[in-house]
Amino acid sequence: MEVADIKSGSVFDMVYEIVKQIPAGKVATYGQIARMLNNPRLSRVVGYALHVNPNPFLIPCHRVVNRFGEVSKAFAFGGENRQRHLLKDEGVEFDNLGRVILSRYLWKNS
């Protein structure tokens, strides 16, 4: 199913649908998701959508990081430490700066 076909009415829902499709062991960036929505400027909205994340159990928000692979500071799911643990548990590695190696684990949707 194409991302472009996802039109649940609100951008938030679209974001959720996309995030749900991120496979384990991969991560996506806010800007990337925004681009998937055909609106590169929605990067902030994407973050906000996850901020008010209604279903932390259905939405793997821990697989969404910023442009540099850094985990969110205000992670409303148990702290950034929690997010790193979850990713690490999926096989995602971090560099010495504590950032996800995007060059290897960035999710590529087509």
Partner DNA sequence: TTAATGACCTATC
Partner DNA sequence: CGATAGGCCATTA
Task: Count Cα atoms within 13 angstroms, Cβ side, for 77.
Answer: 25
List 49, 61, 64, 86, catalytic entry: 61
In the DSSP assignment, the letter for residue 8 is -
Q: Which stretch binds DNA (CB under 7 A): 20-28, 56-64, 85-93, 98-106?
A: 56-64
Q: What does the per-residue mask of binding to DNA show for 17-46, with x meaning CB under 7 A? A: ------------xxx-------x-xxxxxx
Contact 46, 30 (CB under 8 A): yes
In angstroms, the CA 88 to CA 9 distance is 34
Interacting residues with DNA (CB under 7 A): 10-12, 29-31, 39, 41-53, 61-62, 64, 66-68, 72-77, 83
Q: Which residues are designated catalytic? A: 61
